[in-house]
């Protein structure tokens, strides 16, 4: 796709070159005196004209001279540009996805300056982390002990009256601007992560240049050589010895406008630039500014006005034709929120014509694009890049992995670790660095595919499924676009309505199904087809409208504080509930408020989850009839089965967080919130969660509905590939996975110590009582009978978990009360096993083993 553009680019600057060079000569004549003066002062310098012979000129913010024979480049810096601040933004434009070098990834942003030092030009990064109040005398000592960071310096090649020419191959054909090759901690074993090797400057080259009055883009192809690769990478790596990475370096002028930064507030979720105030002694007096677009009313006196410059989005011509209209509609839905903030048509959606002559990588265009990469690292991503000084969003892109947006469930992704995962998750996090990743599309895809399967089995026709897919796509675009407007996640938004209300279209069409589209919701499938409402919300919710009002309502400087305070005072409204990823509970031990969770729905998740468990178990019985189609393998059946199992994991996770949970309220003092900042989840609710887990996750018959499917769980053979293990289905692993996930939450030191700590401010469900109820749920039902394989695994894992708590080293973080409770639970299990009836040999063996484990655990000194 890009190679054609390169050809176009190679032709274009040559044409520009002759025109611009003659213009340059005219200017030289005009500035004759000034030139003569400079020559006198700097006699050693050869004239610029000599040095740029045979070069194509790309004139703009920085003027680029590319030697069309040698492929080397020089940069012309105007003298009045010295000392000024500019913005640098890097994008990866294609490279190993396992290193997050995918196409159009927005990477590093910083502010930099260029200065002359002796006979060189120095390029240095500016530290934007601090703010000094100019009224405070301390500000005279601003930036003390803030280390200067010079990333490039090179000799001035030539000089004229207006500026300097400097060679920049060392800057661009290198890792100096953005660290492309990840620097991994020494603890990472060799070969654990795909390694690019060393940069080969000789094989690296410029591939595209774009220069405009306010910005300059330099696209380079960097070549890396690794003569002896230990890790061959995935299928996307053609040959691990030679890997090329395409990077785009964009330089932007500091925007010249009167954009006033808006300060961040903990009650609303915006991405922000963190800035420390070094001239204050007040607590939490941060100067963090939110990321937002520069919207200015055309008619400042009108209550609602069009903006001078709207936020224009282009749906790239790579987008499947059948999705385009839906995307345009979904994007325009954000205008409802902007209208409440005083702007009409703030978001404008356009479709990129097939004949368009502009490059979608041009940062002046905000583009929604569809791609299909070999190993997608995200389902969809909606990043933006901003001025670090003010938070002003300067551009954004949305990239959707086509396989996320398609109606085909890609199931093995859900269970087998992603094929590109040649690095453990923690390493990937290191590599990803600061980038904001949104895994929403991946979660949404799993939800959508499961929901579609269940709806089909309940008799939904093709038009209904089409509508469901449309709602899915709507949600995806609404969500990703929300990120590009500055909003971060709101994982609390799905609690707006009750389980009965979520299927009431009168309500959901009016205010939405959720408070915000920035959540990752469970697909809303009713167990009763006649009552089915919307599957996904198709409009921005009350929180989204409020958040846009906070971020975008224009105020006169004198009215700003009062105006914003008035908006923020509404944060106690339950429809505006907010909690972002920092608080969310998706991983065991993370977060504390069970309502701030992904893949949940309604203000009564325990009831909602119970209904979903029942639905999944009922649908299991219909699965084979519906998805065994003559003439095809059992791959689809296996896929659909996994989607239903995944629903169980998701629901169990959501429910488990209520045990030991603490509700959070972030309202400020004086807002008259009925809640304290921390309120323990009522014991009755915690017990109800335990009951649901006991019945639908831990009970001996929890997976009884699945058994008939096991003989059909066959993968479709492909070459010699059975994904690393024999092809027979392993049902015990699936159930074990569910159990391990839930036990990990219970046994996490953060969970157990929180249960104890919250006992000092209202929690009456002690760790001892929680473990007692768990022991009952995991052992009682089959004390007098045989123990089936699922329960054998569950009981063994549970005893292992308890033993780990009892024998944990202090560094693990368990408190004394948790250890005591785990110790007592083990003793009780041992006692009850002593009198248990074991009707068969396997059960006897299992119990003997459990007793042995307990004895061992209790005997450790
Ligand atoms: Zn997201």
Sorted by sequence, the CB contacts under 8 Å of residue 405 that are 6+ apart come out as 320, 323, 370, 380, 441, 473, 476
More reliable by pLDDT, 563 or 419: 563
pLDDT of 1: 34
CA–centroid distance, residue 517 to ligand 1 (Å): 9
Residue-level length of the chain: 861
Q: Distance, CA 142 to ligand 1 centroid (Å)? A: 37
Helix (H, G, I), strand (E, B) or coil at 417: coil
Q: Which residue has the tokens 């061992």?
A: 856
**CA–centroid distance, residue 354 to ligand 1 (Å):** 29
Computed over every residue of the chain, the mean pLDDT equals 88
Alpha helices (H) in 341-439, listed in sequence order = 402-405, 412-415, 425-432
CA of 493 to the centre of ligand 1 (A): 13
pLDDT exceeds cutoff 80 at 412: no
Rg, Å, the chain Cα set? 31
pLDDT at residue 407 greater than cutoff 70: no
Ligand 1 mean position, distance from CA 404 (Å): 14
Highest mean pLDDT among 223-237, 317-331, 681-695, 730-744: 681-695
pLDDT above 80: residue 244? yes
pLDDT tens digits along 755-795 = 999 999 999 999 999 999 999 999 999 999 999 999 999 99
State the pLDDT at residue 665: 96
**CA 546 – ligand 1 centroid, Å:** 18
In this prediction, residue 44 has a pLDDT band, given cuts at 50, 70 and 90, of very low
Q: How far apart are CA 21 and CA 31, in angstroms?
A: 15
Ligand 1 centre and the CA of 483: distance in Å? 7
Can you tell me the mean pLDDT for 122-131?
94
Confidence of residue 2 (pLDDT cuts 50, 70, 90): very low
Beta strand ranges found along 619-728 (DSSP E):
662-664, 678-680
Q: How far is the CA of 581 from the centre of ligand 1 (A)?
A: 10
DSSP secondary structure letters along 130-198: EE--TTSGGGGGTTTT---EEEEEEEEEEE-SSEEEEE-HHHHSSSSSS--S----TTSPTTSS----E
Could you tell me the pTM of the whole model? 0.89
Cα(58)–Cα(525) distance, integer angstroms: 56
- Higher pLDDT: 401 or 452? It is 452
Share of the chain above pLDDT 70, in %: 89
Q: Where are the domains of the chain?
A: 1-42, 49-253, 717-861
96 CA distance to ligand 1 middle (Å): 23
**Distance from residue 586's CA to the centre of ligand 1 (Å):** 14
pLDDT band at 43 (very low <50, low <70, confident <90, very high): very low
pLDDT digits (tens, 9 = 90+) for 495-547: 999 999 999 999 999 999 999 999 999 999 999 999 999 999 999 999 999 99
CA–centroid distance, 381 to ligand 1, in Å, is 7
Q: Let me know: does 646 contact 599? Beta carbons within 8 Å.
A: no
Report the 10 Å Cβ neighbour count for 730.
Answer: 12
Of the CA atoms within 13 Å of residue 78, those in its CB half-sphere come to 9
With a cut of 90, say whether residue 21 has pLDDT above it.
no
Lowest-pLDDT choice from 62-76, 259-273, 280-294, 369-383: 369-383
Instruction: Give dist(CA 419, CA 96) in Å, integer.
Output: 13
Distance 515 CA to ligand 1 centre (A): 15
Confidence of residue 446 (pLDDT cuts 50, 70, 90): confident
Ligand 1 centroid – CA 799 distance (Å) = 38
Handedness of CA 706, 708, 709, 714 (dihedral sign): positive
Give distance in angstroms: CA of 484 to centre of ligand 1: 10
Question: What sign does the CA torsion over 506, 510, 514, 519 have?
Answer: positive
Q: How far is the CA of 491 from the centre of ligand 1 (A)?
A: 10
Pairing of strands 311-315, 366-371: parallel
Which of 52, 54, 50, 48 lies closest to 14, judged by CA? 54
Q: For residue 414, is pLDDT > 70?
A: no
Task: Report pLDDT for 586.
Answer: 84
The C-alpha atoms of residue 32 and residue 215 are separated, in whole angstroms, by 29
pLDDT band of residue 33 (cuts 50, 70, 90) is very low
Above 70 in pLDDT, residue 416?
no
pLDDT in tens, 829-860: 999 999 988 899 999 999 999 999 999 999 86
- Ligand 1 centroid–CA 476 distance in Å is 9
């Amino acid at each position: 796709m890009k190679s054609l553009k390169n050809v176009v680019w190679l032709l274009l600057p040559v044409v520009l070159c002759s025109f611009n060079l003659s213009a340059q000569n005219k200017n030289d004549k005009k500035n004759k005196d000034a030139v003569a003066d400079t020559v006198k002062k700097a006699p050693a310098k050869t004239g610029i004209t000599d040095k740029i012979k045979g070069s194509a000129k790309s004139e703009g913010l920085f003027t680029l001279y590319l030697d069309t024979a040698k492929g080397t480049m020089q940069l012309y810096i105007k003298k009045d540009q010295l000392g000024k601040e500019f913005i640098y933004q890097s994008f990866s434009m294609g490279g190993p996805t396992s290193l997050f070098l995918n196409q159009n990834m927005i990477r590093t942003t910083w502010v930099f300056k260029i200065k002359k030092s002796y006979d060189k030009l120095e390029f240095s990064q500016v530290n934007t982390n601090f703010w000094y109040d100019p009224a405070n005398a301390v500000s005279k000592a601003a930036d003390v002990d803030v280390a200067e960071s010079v990333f490039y310096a090179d000799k001035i090649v030539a000089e004229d009256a207006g500026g300097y020419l400097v060679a920049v191959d060392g800057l661009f054909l290198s890792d100096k601007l953005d660290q492309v090759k990840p620097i991994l901690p020494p603890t990472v074993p060799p070969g654990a992560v795909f390694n690019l090797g060393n940069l080969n400057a000789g094989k690296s080259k410029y591939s595209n240049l774009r220069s405009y009055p306010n910005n300059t883009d330099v696209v380079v192809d960097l070549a890396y050589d690794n003569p002896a690769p230990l890790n061959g990478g995935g299928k996307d790596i053609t040959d691990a010895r030679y890997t090329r990475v395409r990077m785009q370096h964009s330089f932007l002028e500091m925007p010249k406008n009167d954009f006033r930064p808006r300060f961040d507030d903990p009650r609303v979720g915006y991405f922000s630039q963190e800035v420390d105030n070094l001239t204050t002694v007040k607590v939490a007096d941060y100067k963090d500014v939110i990321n937002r677009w520069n919207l200015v009313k055309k008619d400042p006196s009108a209550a609602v006005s069009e903006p001078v410059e709207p936020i224009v989005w282009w749906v790239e011509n790579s987008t499947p034709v059948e999705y385009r209209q839906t995307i345009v509609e979904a994007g325009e839905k954000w205008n409802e929120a902007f209208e409440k903030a005083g702007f009409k048509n703030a978001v404008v959606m356009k479709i990129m014509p097939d004949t368009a002559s502009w490059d979608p990588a041009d940062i002046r265009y905000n583009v929604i694009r569809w791609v299909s990469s070999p190993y997608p690292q995200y389902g969809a991503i909606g990043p933006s890049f901003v001025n670090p000084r003010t938070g002003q969003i300067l551009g954004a892109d949305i990239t959707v992995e086509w396989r996320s947006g398609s109606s085909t469930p890609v199931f093995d992704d859900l269970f087998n670790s992603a094929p590109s995962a040649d690095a453990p998750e923690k390493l990937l996090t290191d590599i990803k660095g600061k980038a904001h990743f949104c895994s929403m599309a991946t979660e949404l895809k799993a939800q959508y595919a499961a929901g579609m399967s269940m709806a089909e089995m309940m008799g939904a026709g093709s038009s209904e499924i089409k509508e469901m897919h449309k709602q899915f796509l709507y949600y995806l675009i609404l969500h990703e676009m929300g990120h590009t407007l500055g909003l971060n996640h709101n994982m609390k938004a799905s609690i707006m309505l009750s389980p009965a209300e979520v299927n009431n279209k009168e309500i959901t069409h009016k205010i939405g199904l959720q408070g915000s589209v920035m959540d990752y919701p469970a697909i809303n499938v009713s167990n009763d087809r006649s009552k089915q409402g919307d599957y996904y919300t198709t409009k921005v919710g009350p929180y989204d409208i409020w958040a846009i009002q906070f971020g975008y309502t224009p105020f006169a400087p004198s009215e700003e504080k009062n105006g914003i305070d008035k908006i923020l005072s509404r944060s106690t409204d339950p429809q505006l509930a907010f909690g972002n990823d920092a608080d969310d509970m998706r991983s065991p031990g993370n977060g504390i408020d069970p309502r701030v969770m992904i893949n949940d729905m309604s203000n009564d998740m325990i009831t909602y989850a119970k209904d979903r468990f029942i639905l999944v178990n009922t649908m299991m019985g219909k699965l084979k009839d519906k998805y065994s189609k003559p003439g095809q393998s059992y791959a689809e059946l296996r896929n659909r089965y996994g989607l239903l199992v995944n629903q169980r994991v998701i629901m169990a996770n959501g429910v488990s967080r209520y045990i030991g949970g603490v509700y959070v309220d972030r309202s400020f003092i004086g807002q008259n919130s009925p809640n304290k900042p921390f309120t323990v989840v009522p014991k009755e609710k915690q017990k109800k969660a335990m009951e649901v887990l006991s019945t639908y996750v831990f009970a001996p018959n929890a997976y009884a509905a699945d058994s008939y499917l096991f003989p059909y769980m066959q993968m479709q053979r492909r070459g010699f590939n059975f994904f690393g293990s024999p092809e027979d289905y392993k049902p015990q692993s699936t159930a074990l996975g569910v159990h391990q996930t839930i036990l990990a939450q219970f046994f996490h030191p953060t969970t157990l110590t929180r249960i104890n700590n919250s006992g000092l401010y209202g929690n009456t469900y002690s760790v001892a009582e929680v473990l007692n109820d768990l022991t009952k749920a995991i052992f009682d039902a089959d004390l007098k009978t045989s123990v089936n394989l699922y329960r054998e695994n569950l009981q063994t894992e549970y005893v292992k978990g308890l033993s780990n708590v009892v024998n944990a080293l202090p560094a693990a973080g368990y408190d004394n009360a948790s250890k005591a409770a785990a110790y007592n639970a083990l003793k009780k299990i041992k006692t009850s096993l002593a009198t248990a009836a074991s009707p068969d040999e396997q059960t006897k063996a299992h119990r003997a083993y459990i007793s042995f484990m307990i004895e061992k655990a209790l005997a450790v000194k």
